[in-house]
């Protein structure tokens, strides 16, 4: 397993767990990061933070630390 911040642009991962501060986990749930959803990394800024992802039809920007709280199963 990997975390969302470890995926490269164009790679997909199925969200397995969210970890970290309860307020962060709640925020991630509220913006649509739910277990079982597939997230695609669309891009990473030049300095590596933030990371742009797509979950369903929604595009989101996450700080690297937020993306590191999301454990995913890498999909081919």
pLDDT recorded at residue 6: 95
Q: Which residue has the tokens 């933070």?
A: 49
Task: Write down the pTM of the prediction.
Answer: 0.89
How many domains would you assign to the chain? 1
pLDDT recorded at residue 76: 73
Any idea what the CATH number is for the domain that residue 41 is in?
2.30.30.90
pLDDT recorded at residue 28: 93
Q: Look up residue 55 and give its two tokens.
A: 């979950």
Per-residue pLDDT 10s for the chain (76 aa) are 899 999 999 999 999 999 999 999 999 999 999 999 999 999 999 998 999 999 999 999 999 999 999 999 999 7
Q: Decide: residue 40, CB within 10 A, 0-12 exposed, 13-18 middle, 19+ buried.
A: middle
């Amino acid at each position: 397993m990997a975390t969302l911040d470890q995926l490269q642009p164009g790679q997909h991962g199925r969200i397995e767990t969210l970890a970290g501060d309860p307020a962060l986990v709640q925020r991630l749930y509220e913006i649509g990061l739910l277990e079982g959803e597939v997230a695609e990394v669309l891009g990473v800024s030049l300095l590596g933070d933030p990371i742009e992802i797509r979950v369903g039809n929604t595009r989101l920007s996450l700080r690297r630390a937020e993306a590191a709280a999301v454990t995913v199963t890498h999909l081919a």
